[in-house]
Structure 1
Amino acid sequence: MSNITYDNRSNLQRFLAGDFYALSGDLGSSLNLGGLSFSKIYKIDPYFINRPLFNFTGLATLPSEVEVYIDGTRIMTEKFSPGQFSLKNLNYYGGARFIEVVVKDAFGRETRYRLPFYFNDILLSKGLHEYSYNIGFIREQFGVRSNDYRNLAFSGFHKYGVSDSFNIGFSAEAKRGTYVIGPQAALLLGRAGTLVLVFSGSHDEDKGGGNAGLLNYGYQGTLFNWRLLLKKYSRHYMTVVSDASTAGTKHEIGAGIGYGTASFGSLSVDYTETKKYEERSTKTYAVTYSRNITQKSTLFSSYKHIREHNNNSDEFFIGLTYYFGGNDITLSTSHQQDREKNTQITQLTKNIPVGEGYGYRLYGDRTESHGTVSNTVNPYFQYNARYGIYTGEYKGTYTNGQNVEAYRFTAAGSIAYTGNTLGFSRPINDSFGVVQTSDLKGVRVYINNEEIGKTNASGKVFVPNLNSYLDNQVSINEKDIPMNYTMTEVIKYVSPPLRSGSYIKFDVTKFYAITGMLHVKVNGEAKPAEFFEVTTKVDDKELTFPTGRGGEFYLENIKPGKYSASFDYKDKKCFFELAIPKSDDVIIDLGVITCKDF
C-alpha cells in the first residue's frame, strides 16, 4: 500500500491520497480503498485529551492549600490566594471514581468536598468533532494481485459532543446499488457507566431493504466491571463489502462481569452467543483468572465451554510467566487442553533492544492428539546492527519418526536522508532522525533512556525509530565527551511529524585557548602593547579583546584562519594579522606578534 499523507497539526486534520483502510462504524464495513480521505485525527497531538475531564470551582476565604484525592490516593496539591479558584482538566484512567477536594486555610481549618465522577474514553468532550470521509475504488485481492481497483465506494462517519454526557453522530457507506446509513448516540449514565446505541438501514438493488441495531453498555469500577453487547441484523441487511447478508448472522450477544484487586488478582466470567438464520446458535461460556504471584511472576488460567449443534467442547489453559529482571529475560510455561489435543509449551525469551544488540526466543512444545505425540523446537535469533536487522530461525517438528524442518534467514534495512546526510540504517517504520555531536566518534546516544547506538567517525548516528507527534527524549552520554569539549545541553525533545526525518544537533564544541604577546614597533624599537583594546572580525562579527601586562592576550575557540586586527596607538591605528593555526593542543601559543603597520 502506498499513499501521500498531509497532517495539519494545528487543526488535527489528516488528508490522505492513495491506499488506505476506511471504517464506517460498528455495523459497517472495513474497506480497502484507493482514493482520497479527510479525517479528524486526535492522535496527531497525543497530549490533547478529547474526552470529558473533571473540573471543580471553589472559594478560599484565606490563603489556602488544596489537595485532591481520587479513591483515597492524593494526586495533586496546589496553593491558592483568597478568592475563587479552579481545578481544571483533571484526568485519570477510566471508571467510576470518588474525587475528594480538601481545602486547608492558613489556620489549619479544613473543608472537604466529596464528588463522584466517571472517567471514560467513549464520549467526546462538549463541542468536539470526530470524523472521517473517504471516497475511492475498492481494492480487490489485496496481497494477491496489484492494482486491482474496481467499484467506486464511499465510507464515512461523524461524531459530535453535544455535551460531556451526550454525543450524537452518523455513519454511512455506499457503492453502486448498495447504500447504508444510520444514526448513533453515546450516553454517560452518571456513575452507572456508558451506553452506545447504533442503528443502520441498508438498501440493495437486488435484496431490497434491511436494518441492524447495536447496544453496547459498559461499567468500570474500582472492584467490579460488567459489560453487555447486543447486535441484531435483519435477514437482508447489507454492507458494501458483501453481496449477501452479513455472513447470515441474525444476532450476537456478549456479556461479562469481572472482579479484581491487587491481592486477589483478576477474575472474569463471559458469555457470548452467535445465531445465524440458517444455523443453530453457538454459545461460549468462559472464565479467566490472572494474578501476580510475586513481583516477577504472573499466573494466568482460563476455562472455556463451547456449545454448538451436536458438538460441545471444553478448553482449558494455565500458564506461568517469570521475569528475570535486569537481563530482559522472560521464562514462560503453559499447558493447554481441549477435546482434540493437549499441548505443553516452554519458552525462554530475551527482549530485543531498541538500539543495537541482540534478542532471542527458545521455544519448545509437546502435543499429544489421538495417541500421536509431536514435538516442536523453534529457536529464533535477531541482531540489531548499525545498518540493519538480521534474523535466523529454525523450526523442526518431529512426529512418530517423521521430521519436518524449516530454516529462515532475513536481512532488512533502510536508506534515509535528512540533515544533508544520506545513510543506511535499521528498518524505518515511522519517523527517524540523525543525531550529530560535532565530529566526535563513539558518543552513546539514547532515545527515551534506551541506548540506540554510538556516533561514527563523522559524529553522526541514525535513529530509525522516533515516534511521530510524541515528545521523544534524545540524549547523549556526557561521559563520552572529552574534557576539552563544552556542551550547551545533553537532552533534547523532538516531536516529529508523521514519517518524517529530523536533524538533531548537539552543540559540542572543542575548547581551546589562544595566547600570545602583542608588541608594537615604533622608530625601529619593539615595545609591549600593554592595556590596549584590540578589534578584529570573526564570522562577520566584531570581536574585541584586551591586552595585559607585557602585551599578553587571551582568546577562546576561534577557528583556525587569518584575521585582520587593529588597535589605536597614539591617535593612530596599528594593523596586524592574527594567524591561528590548526592544532590539537588545548592551548595554542602564538608567540610574539609585532604590529608595525600604521
Structure 2
Amino acid sequence: MAPSTPSSTTTPARRPYRWPAPIVSVALAMSAGKAMSVNAPVDGATATPAGQTAPAGQVLFLETRINHEPNTRLARFITRDGVLLASPSTLRELGLRPPAAADASGLIALHALAGVRVDFDASLQQLDLLVPVQMLERPLTHIDLARRPMLGPDPGQRSPGVLLNYDLYGQRFAGTGNYNAYNELLLFGMGPGQWSTTMSSELHTGSAGTGIRTTRLDSRWQLDIPDKMLTLSIGDTLSGALDWSRATRIGGIRLSRNFALQPYRVTTPLASFAGEAVLPSTVDLYIDGIRQSSQQVLPGGFQLDAAPSINGAGQAQLVVTDINGQRRTMDFALYASPRLLQAGLSDWSLELGTLRRDYGQRSFVYGNKPVASASTRRGLEEWLTVEAHAEASAGIAQAGAGMQMLLGQRGGMLSASLAASQAGPRQGSQYGLGYQWASPWLSLAASTLRRSQGFRDVPAVLEQATLPRRTDQAYAGFSTRFGQFGLSYVSQRLPGVDPSRYASFNWSRSSSGNALLSLSYNRNLGGSRSDSAFLYWSLPLDRHTSIATSARHGLDGNNLSMEASRGVSSDLGGWGWHAQTSTGEDRSARAEVTRLGEYGQWSAGLERTDSSGAHSTLLYASASGGVVWLGGYLQALRRVDDAFALVSTDGIGHVPIHLENRMVGTTDARGYLLVTPLNAWQHNQLSIDPQQLPADMLIKATRIDVVPASRSGAKVSFAMRRTLSLQFGIRDRHGQWLPAGSHIILQAEGSAPIALSVGHEGKVYVQDPPAQARLHFDGGDAACHAALPVVPAREGHFELADVICR
C-alpha cells in the first residue's frame, strides 16, 4: 500500500522574535566570561563573499537545542547590533535547511526566519530554537513495526532423539470389536534433517473371525533451512496447489518455500502511515480502536509500517501527542488480506515423482509414470499478487495463471484464474472468478469455477476421476445487536448427474453470562428438496464446566438432547467428563470420562441406544500420547504435534515449571519434565519462580528462551544447587547492633575476603561460607572481630543466635 499522508500537517505560524538591543547588551555582559570575541570573518571559507570583509562581531558558542529535542549541540553564532546571526553551514550542522537569503557577509539573522522562535539563556549559554517542520533538514524517521530478527534453534539446546506418537481407539458393539491404531515415528537431531514414518493398523473381531491389517501411510526425510525459508522433502508428499488447482499425492522429491520457518516475518503487504511532528512526540497507532503500538519520534517527518491485525476493511488512527500534551489525530482507511504477498516476495514449490495410489489401503503402490508440477505466487505490487501453476505426466499437461487484486482501500479483493489442459487429443480449459469483501460488521464472498468438457488435470487422468464441470459459491454474513447472521449457497455440477444445490442460514447470539444461542437451517435445492434444522443453547458454569441442550430436525425425524460436560486444562491436565441423553425417533444415552496427564490422554465411555424397540450398547475407549528418547532420557509424554522440550533442574525434583507464565508441571524426582506443546521456530519462554523454592537454592537463571525446530525436541537446563546459607545478628562488645549499612569482612585462610552488608537490627546474610571463617569490622575505635559459628550441615538455611563482635 502506498504510504498514507495526513490531510493537514501545517505548523501554526509563530511571530518572529527579535531581541531588543538593551537585552542583548545585558546578555553579552553576563556572558563575557564565557563568550569569545573576535574581529574576523564569520566563515571565511564560505560565508563571506569575495572581496568583502565581515564586520566585527562577537562569537558565541552556544549549547543549542532544536524543537525541545533531548539532545543538544554546541554551535557557533555571531551577535551584531543586537541581532543573533548564523552561517548557512551552522544551520546545516544543526539539521536545519538554510534559506536562500543572507546578508552581505553571508550570515542569516535568526529573527528574520519565518515561523522561528528564539529563546536565549545568557547565564547558561543555551539557545532554544523552535522551527517549522519544513525547515528541518533530516532524513525521514522510519519505524518498521513488522521487522523482527530471524530466529533459529540454539545449537546448545539441540539434542538427538526418537519420538513415537500413538493414537489408539477401540469399540465393542453387538459381539464384534473394532480396534484401530495410528503410529508416527520421528528421528531428529541425528545429522541434517529428520526422518518420519506413519502407519495405521486395524483389528476386527467377531463371529466371522478375526482380521488384521497394517498399512504404511507416509515416509519421508525432510530438511528445513530457516535462513532461506526452504524445505526439502524426499519421500511421500503432497504437491503444491493454488485455490484453483488440486494437490497430488506423490512419492518423490519436493523443494518449496516455507514461510513457517520464519513465523515472525510478515508476508502480507504492510500498512504505511506517514506524518510529521514539530516537537518530540509519542505516536500511537490504533486499528479498529485497539492500540497496536506506541512509539517515540523526534521532530520531523516519520513513516510507520505495520502489519494490520485485521482481515478485511478497517479503520486506522494515528494519534500524535507532543511533549506539551497537544494531540493531533489522523484517520486512514485500510484493507488487509492474507491472499496478498508483499511486493517482490515469492512463494513457490517444485515437485517430481510418481503418483501414490490406493493411499490408506495399500502400503507401497505407486504409479509407473513420472509426475512433475510447479506452483508459484509473487507480489508484483502491494495491491497485486500473480499466480501460476503447471503440472505434467505421460499423456497429460496442464498450466494456468491467476491473480489476487486489491480494489482500492475499500473495494475488497478480486481473484481470477485461467488454465488449459491437453490430455491426448482432448483439449480443455478452466476459468475462475471470485470476489471477497470483509469488515467487522459485513462479509461478502462469491466465486465460480468452470471447466470445459475436455479439461483434465494429472490426478483426474491417472486416477480416472471425474472433475465437476461447474462449482459456484456465495456467502453473506453480517453482525447486528441482534446477533450474527449468515447466508450461504453452494452448487456443483458433475457430468451426467443432476446438479447439487444447497442453501443455508445461520444465526447466533451471545448473551449475559456467556450463554450462546444458535440456529441453523439447511435446504437441499436439488431433486429431493429435503431440509434440516438445528437449534442449540449452551451455558458455561465455570471455566471448564458447561451445560447445553439442542433440538434437531432432519430426514431421520426430530431429536432433542441435553448434555453436561467438564473439559480438561490443556496445561495442567486432570479429569474431565461428558454426559448426554437424547430423545425422539431414536433414544440414546452416553457417558464418557477423560483423563489428561503428563504421560498422555485416555478416555472411556458407553452409549446406550433404543431404536425401533431394539436395544444396543456400545463400549469404546481411546488413548493418545507418545514415548521419547532424548539425550539419554526415556520418558512417556503427551502426544507431540509441533515441538517439545526436556527441562532439567540439575537433579533437583519437584520444581514447578512455567511456560509463558503458565504453570505446566513439576519436575520428577530425577529433576526432569517434558513440556509440550511448544511453538516451532518461535520464542518459548520457560521459567521457574524462585519464591516457590527453598531459601537455600542458588539459581543461575530463572528464565530461558527456547526456539525449537519443528517436530523435534530441545534440551533445556536450569542450573541450580542447594547452598548453605546463614542468617544472624551481630552486636558489638557493648551489646549494641552494628550500624545498618556498615560493612564487615568475612575471611578464611586460603580464601578471598568477602564483603558483607549489615542490615537492620544487625542482620547479616552469608551464603556458602568457607570453613573456619572469621568476621572483621573496621569501625575505628569500634573495630572488632568474631568467629563465624560452625554449622554441621553442608546445605540448608539456618537462623543462628546473635554473634558478639569483640
Query: Structure 2 residue aligned with 1:471, among 677, 683, 698?
Result: 683
1:200 and 2:419 correspond: yes
Equivalent pair of 2:696/2:795 in contact (CA under 8 Å): no
Higher relative contact order, structure no. (Cα contacts within 8 Å, ≥ 6 residues apart): 2
Return the offset for 1:547: 11
AA in 2 matched with 1:148: V
Match of 1:594 in 2: none
Counterpart in 1 of 2:355? Answer: 138
Closer/same/farther in 2, CA of residues 204 and 217 from structure 1, 3 Å limit: same
* Equivalent position of 1:272 in the other structure: 490
**TM-score normalised to structure 2 length:** 0.62
Please point out which of 354, 372, 377 is paired with 1:159: 377
Deviation of 1:507 after TM superposition, in Å, equals: 2.6
Q: Give the whole-Å Cα distance in 2 for the aligned partners of 1:219 and 1:451.
A: 41
User: CA separation of 1:116/1:401 partners in 2, compared to 1, >3 Å: closer, same or farther?
Assistant: same
Query: For 1:451 and 1:394, how far apart are their aligned partners in 2?
Result: 33
For structure 2, the residue ranges without an aligned partner over 5 or more in a row are: 1-217, 728-744, 757-764, 772-790, 801-806
Task: Tell me, yes or no, if the aligned pair for 2:456 and 2:467 is still in contact at 8 Å.
Answer: no
Q: Are 1:299 and 1:321, in contact at CA under 8 Å, matched by a contact in 2?
A: yes
Q: In structure 2, the residue corresponding to 1:499 is in which secondary structure? A: coil
From the superposition, tell whether residues 79 and 426 of structure 1 become closer, same or farther in structure 2 (CA, over 3 Å).
Answer: closer
8 Å Cα contact 2:513/2:539 also seen in 1: no
Deviations 1:539-574 (A, max 9, x none): xxxx734699xxxxx9844999xxxxxxxxxxxxxx
Q: Which moved more, 1:208-217 or 1:580-589?
A: 580-589
Q: Which position in structure 2 is the counterpart of 1:366?
A: 583
Please name the residue that 2:225 is paired with: 8
Instruction: Give the aligned residue type for 1:400.
Output: S
Tell me the residue number matched to 2:250: 33
Instruction: Tell me which protein shows more strand as a share of its residues.
Output: 1
3-state SS of paired residue (1:43): helix
Q: 2:611 aligned with 1:399, yes or no?
A: yes
Task: Determine which of 177, 185, 189 is the counterpart of 2:407.
Answer: 189
User: TM-score normalized by structure 1?
Assistant: 0.82
1:350 aligns with 2:570: no
Q: Residues 190-229 of structure 1: matches in 2 within 5 Å?
A: 190=408, 191-205=410-424, 208-229=426-447
Counterparts of 1:304 and 1:427 in 2: how far apart (Å)? 37
Query: Do the aligned partners of 2:664 and 2:675 also contact (CA within 8 Å) in 1?
Result: yes
Alignment pair present for 1:93 and 2:289? no
Shift of 1:161: 0.5
Quick one: which of 539, 553, 570 aligns to 1:322? Answer: 539
Determine the C-alpha separation between the residues in 2 that align with 1:187 and 1:246. Answer: 32
User: Is 2:299 the counterpart of 1:82?
Assistant: yes
CA distance in 2, matches of 1:105, 1:479: 42
Q: Per the alignment, do residues 514 and 73 of structure 1 end up closer, same or farther by CA in structure 2, a change over 3 Å counting?
A: closer
- Mapped partners of 2:703, 2:548: distance in 1: 37
Secondary structure of the structure 2 residue equivalent to 1:277:
coil
1:146 aligned partner, one-letter code: S
Matching residue of 2:343: 126
Output one character per residue of 1:238-288: Cα deviation in whole Å (capped at 9) or x when no partner: 122223886352211111222114x33211222222233323333222211
Do the aligned partners of residues 587 and 77 (structure 1) sit closer, same or farther apart at CA in structure 2, a change above 3 Å counting?
closer
Q: Cα deviation per residue 1:366-388 (whole Å; 9 max; x = unaligned)? A: 342xxxxx222332222223334
Letter aligned with residue 723 of structure 2? F
- C-alpha separation between the residues in 1 aligned to 2:459 and 2:563? 40
Q: Which structure 2 residues correspond to residues 243-258 of structure 1 after superposition, within 5 A?
A: 243=461, 247-258=466-477
Match of 2:752 among 512, 536, 544: 544
Q: Structure 2 matches for 1:305-344, cutoff 5 A?
A: 305-309=523-527, 311-326=528-543, 328-344=544-560
CA contact (8 A) 2:695 2:797 kept: no
**How many corresponding residue pairs?**
538
Partner of 1:291: 509
Aligned to 2:34: none
Q: How does 1:35-54 map to 2 (within 5 A)?
A: 35-54=252-271
* Distance of 2:624 and 2:565 partners within structure 1: 21
Q: Which amino acid aligns with 1:127?
A: G
* Bigger Cα displacement from structure 2, 173-182 vs 231-240: 173-182
The Cα of 1:317 is off from its aligned counterpart by 1.3
CA deviations 1:493-545 (Å, max 9, x no partner) are 32210111111222333121599xxxxxxxxxxxxxxx998786xxxxxx734
Which whole-Å CA distance do the structure 2 matches of 1:546 and 1:231 have between them? 80
Higher Cα radius of gyration:
2
Alignment correspondent of 2:794 = 583
8 A Cα contact 1:418 1:433, kept in partner? no
Aligned to 2:709: 497
Q: Indicate yes or no: 2:601 matched with 1:385.
A: no
- Give me the whole-angstrom Cα distance separating, in 1, the residues matched to 2:444 and 2:580: 36
Q: Give the AA of the match of 2:658.
A: Y
Render the CA deviation track for 1:281-318: whole Å, top value 9, x for unaligned.
33222211111122421111112222113x21222111
What does residue 303 of structure 1 align with? Answer: 521
Amino acid at match of 1:130: D
Closer, same or farther: CA 425–555 of 1 in aligned 2, 3 Å? same
Correspondence for 1:527: none
Conservation of the 8 A alpha-carbon contact between 1:29 and 1:240? no
